Structure 1
Amino acid sequence: MPAKYLIVGLGNIGTEYYNTRHNAGFDVVEAFAIKHGGFFKSDRLADMSEVKWKGNTFICIKPTTFMNLSGKSVKYWMDKEKISLENILVIVDDLALPISKIRLRGHGSDAGHNGLKDIQLMLNTDKYARLKFGIGNNFPKGMQAEFVLGKWFPEERLIIQKKIEKSVEIIEAFSTMGLERTMNRYNNISIE
């Protein structure tokens, strides 16, 4: 039976954030939509693209509320499109994961990530799937904000491109195989 999914890429709007680590979620959701013939248009609380693949509908959003208010956008689109909690996938950058890793989780803490914190607050639960895009933690003490909002190092760009492609594959698998099987298939791979 055809299903509808809400694919959320977390990031910040504005050209100064383009290609930064904190915008990995935007980059993944864009790559997914473009691969399936979608394009983004400005809509309520988000840039949105609707794509169809294998009979399913994907509402892809890049919240325009800025990272710390991402939940407002997620809640609005979830309600508007009548998408169930188990069909939501949030793509988020993760400092705790090395750059070679991607990890899919069905629930969990926000781990200090303000975008996830706001989503949890607005949805009143942490039981939604999130795809954590490892950005590593290669920064001097006290420089976390600069690192997160900084651009990828030139030597990382190839891995990041491969990881974005792998993340697109994970979104597809999430919709065809379900959460558990997708986690089993992808959570232990390393991208070099």
Structure 2
Amino acid sequence: MKLLLVGLGNIGATYLYTRHNVGFLVVDYLAAQQKVAFQTDRLAAMAYFAYKHHQVYMIKPTTYMNDSGKAFRYWLHHLKIPIEQSLTIVDDIALPFGTMRLRAKGSDAGHNGLKSIAYALASDGYPRLRMGIGNDFPKGGLSNFVLENFNTKELQALNNHLDRATQILMAWLNGGIMHAMNQFN
């Protein structure tokens, strides 16, 4: 069975440790655990590994956050993977830093990357792991907040959160979305 993990973020060194790139950071962390490397391909950096009876593909769209749907749609169709066999990893300001929530589907909640995906797929029925980044910003400061680097305190806790996120991904690989939700939500 083929599965697709989609880490959302922005390409380039400028964005590497920004809050908006937490999806990229999670799939990078999993890639390091699985000892695989990302290679630039059409619309995304892609890596894959075998796990039990699964072929697991991971992408990091190179289209920037606001056009993530284009890469997601291409790779779903190119690899012939049903939407429910995908999992998108995304930052979420509605959750405190470090809090994680799995959802089988849902709204974009104002997130431009999720809006792009819903538009490109004509559906919001795709699983996602929402990674809390908090919302400690003044009115009108959302864009600056998500594009800022994690602060020192957040950076100290980041590896623990990335480790927990990969545990959630592995639970999803082992038993699907409901199994992982029952175990971690």
Q: TM-score range by the shorter chain?
A: over 0.9
**Paired letter, 2:121:** L
Deviation for aligned residue 1:55: 2.7
Q: Does 1:166 align with 2:164?
A: yes
Distance in structure 2 (CA, Å) of the matches to 1:158 and 1:164: 11
TM-score, with length taken from structure 1: 0.94
Kindly indicate whether the alpha-carbon contact (under 8 Å) linking 1:93 and 1:132 is maintained by their aligned counterparts in 2.
Answer: yes
Q: Which residue of 2 aligns with 1:55?
A: 53
Distance in structure 2 (CA, Å) of the matches to 1:76 and 1:7: 13
SS at match of 1:59: strand
Distance in structure 2 (CA, Å) of the matches to 1:140 and 1:120: 28
Q: Which residue of 1 aligns with 2:66?
A: 68
Q: Which residue of 2 aligns with 1:182?
A: 180
SS at match of 1:32: helix
Kindly indicate whether the alpha-carbon contact (under 8 Å) linking 2:89 and 2:128 is maintained by their aligned counterparts in 1.
Answer: yes
| Partner residue of 1:113 out of 105, 108, 111 | 111
| Partner residue of 1:42 out of 40, 45, 70 | 40
Deviation for aligned residue 1:88: 0.4
Distance in structure 1 (CA, Å) of the matches to 2:18 and 2:66: 16
Distance in structure 2 (CA, Å) of the matches to 1:142 and 1:121: 25
- Paired residues, number: 185
**Paired letter, 1:81:** L
Distance in structure 2 (CA, Å) of the matches to 1:69 and 1:9: 13
**Paired letter, 2:117:** I
Kindly indicate whether the alpha-carbon contact (under 8 Å) linking 2:18 and 2:148 is maintained by their aligned counterparts in 1.
Answer: yes
Unaligned 5+ runs, structure 2: none
Deviation for aligned residue 1:54: 1.7
| Partner residue of 2:133 out of 116, 135, 138 | 135
**Paired letter, 2:145:** F
Q: % of aligned pairs identical?
A: 46
Unaligned 5+ runs, structure 1: 188-192
SS at match of 2:97: coil
Please list, as runs of the form range in 1=range in 2, the aligned pairs for 1:145-156 lying within 5 A after superposition.
Answer: 145-156=143-154
Kindly indicate whether the alpha-carbon contact (under 8 Å) linking 2:98 and 2:131 is maintained by their aligned counterparts in 1.
Answer: no
Kindly indicate whether the alpha-carbon contact (under 8 Å) linking 2:48 and 2:56 is maintained by their aligned counterparts in 1.
Answer: yes
SS at match of 2:180: helix
Deviation for aligned residue 1:143: 1.2
Distance in structure 2 (CA, Å) of the matches to 1:133 and 1:108: 15
Q: Which residue of 2 aligns with 1:83?
A: 81
Root mean square deviation, CA, Å: 0.9
Deviation for aligned residue 1:159: 2.1
C-alpha offsets along residues 55-86 of structure 1, whole Å, 9 cap, x if unaligned?
A: 31111000000111101000100011111111
Q: Which residue of 2 aligns with 1:144?
A: 142
Moved over 4 A (4+): none
Q: Which residue of 2 aligns with 1:190?
A: none
Deviation for aligned residue 1:181: 1.9
SS at match of 2:150: coil
Please list, as runs of the form range in 1=range in 2, the aligned pairs for 1:12-31 lying within 5 A after superposition.
Answer: 12-31=10-29
